[in-house]
Structure 1
């Protein structure tokens, strides 16, 4: 698959703080790539260097083999929204399209189509300040894609959206990827990242921690857990083989299993007197991996991280 964006050994410091250190990854045509990490991990600094808002101290950023990313080929949805509040919706969309040298007639057609798709039909002449937070978020999203960018950077795109609007965004983001747009997505909503993204790049303290295909990352970093619904003794469950810890909430027990356990074989160790109303075995979620790294700094498996 063709590489659209390449970040190579990027480093950036501010006074005495090293914000990003020797970061490398790429984003391919037609894929959704997640860039993740706790607050202060270096995500925003990395994105701003890609956007040309600031420049790295070391390293290089290239787009389709070129040193600079043409402004009309990149779309950006920032975490902090910045549309002019007293400007009409259509005016701001056409203005931003014009900044990208996009034909205004085509921009108007695309704007009307997207406003209809996102249930904003009839709001062309509304000012941004008249819209709800979710409606404003939709306009901001449209402004980032109206010029048909080849590279799209989305920073917390689902913030402030209700579940229906989240589904609309997810559908549109997938469609853009299917048409060949390279998408770099940053979000703290791990369930959506896990559902949507093909690969991920996770940072901590300005450095790369995890990088690779979503399925490979989960297989490498996510141990199995067994969830049992039924009233059972926690101490008895903790005594089972290959159980690292047990968490209980009312009548539900979650058994976190050791690495490399074989689930089918492990099930044979469950006692006959176990109360089971429901039982399931799956890997821990990306959210749990994220929390583990963010709260404990557990990076023992950093070296040899899966690469795609």
Structure 2
């Protein structure tokens, strides 16, 4: 099933939250949405889910409009968490599962699987308010996948989690993808998007400013990074033509250069000055691309 967004615009009065957005997201793929707060990501998710109507354009899933009849096949983790704090985990999941057409036995089977998967088996009869923030987030995630959705939308799923729990959730997302679930998610964690996504869209002021395969986006960016660690002062490298930025890091100095050919000029300039411990030519990171396209003030 393909999720297709064609020339979608959403206006709230005179304010345009999403402006002429067109995307095609294939079945079984993890697709990343990036952008500063207010870029239009959450509004796009809510339009996909049919929670709000678009002003213009069409959204289709398998060539059909997403409506209430299809909610049994969709999972959604909103950025604003919405669990019932006074309810126990088990009764909450049974309630949510029944709303999606599941019988109690199947809900309990899925719930037990995910509780074990997230190493929180003992929380079945606990109230949500008794759990830590991280474990509440795990339960919220479980609520979005309890029905084995074919389309899963995750709005900032990793925010507020420690590194161990981020890895647990990432592994779960990859597992779902490998089982055929189409996953669309937003995140401010560039390294996570870079690790999980083949395709992505960077939005600014409601418009897509970068869109496509991650490999193509990096290739099209052109600029490279060069990491050098030496036992002599490297400050003079910032004056070499083609060096755009120089930043001291724990490993030495990190240079942004116009293209790969500049690295040869730099290598010639340093080869007789002392011992060079590291000289690595690196692809641009997604963080580099995001900062340049969206602006340093947002990061």
Contact in 1 for aligned 2:7/2:22 (Cα 8 Å): yes
* Residues 93-145 of structure 1 deviation map (CA, whole Å, 9 limit, x = unaligned): 11111111123211110101111111111211100000000010000000100
What is aligned with 2:144?
Answer: 144
TM-score calculated relative to the size of structure 1: 0.90
What is aligned with 2:253?
Answer: 253
Contact in 2 for aligned 1:87/1:127 (Cα 8 Å): yes
My pick for the range that moved more, 161-170 or 271-280, is: 271-280
- Structure 1 residues 103 and 135: CA distance shift in structure 2, 3 A: same
- Structure 1 residues 252 and 265: CA distance shift in structure 2, 3 A: closer
CA distance in 2, matches of 1:23, 1:181: 23
- Verify: 1:90 aligned to 2:61, yes or no: no
Structure 1 counterpart of 2:37, from 21, 39, 54: 39
Shift of 1:213: 1.0
The alignment of Structure 1 onto Structure 2 pairs a total of residues equal to 294
What is aligned with 1:285?
Answer: 285
Query: SS of the counterpart of 1:97?
Result: helix
CA distance in 2, matches of 1:111, 1:50: 26
The two structures, once aligned, show a CA RMSD in angstroms of 1.9
What is aligned with 1:64?
Answer: 62
Shift of 1:284: 2.2
TM-score calculated relative to the size of structure 2: 0.92
Contact in 2 for aligned 1:201/1:212 (Cα 8 Å): yes
CA distance in 2, matches of 1:191, 1:263: 26
Shift of 1:233: 4.2
- The 5 Å alignment of 1:121-132 reads 121-132=121-132
Contact in 1 for aligned 2:32/2:193 (Cα 8 Å): yes
Unmatched 5+ residue regions in structure 2?
none
What is aligned with 2:27?
Answer: 29
Unmatched 5+ residue regions in structure 1?
298-308
Query: SS of the counterpart of 1:122?
Result: helix
Structure showing the higher helix proportion among its residues: 2
What is aligned with 1:302?
Answer: none
CA distance in 1, matches of 2:250, 2:193: 29
My pick for the range that moved more, 229-238 or 152-161, is: 229-238
Shift of 1:267: 5.3
CA distance in 2, matches of 1:250, 1:49: 44
What is aligned with 2:5?
Answer: 7
CA distance in 1, matches of 2:243, 2:128: 54
Shift of 1:264: 6.5
CA distance in 1, matches of 2:106, 2:224: 50
- Verify: 1:227 aligned to 2:223, yes or no: no
Shift of 1:21: 0.5
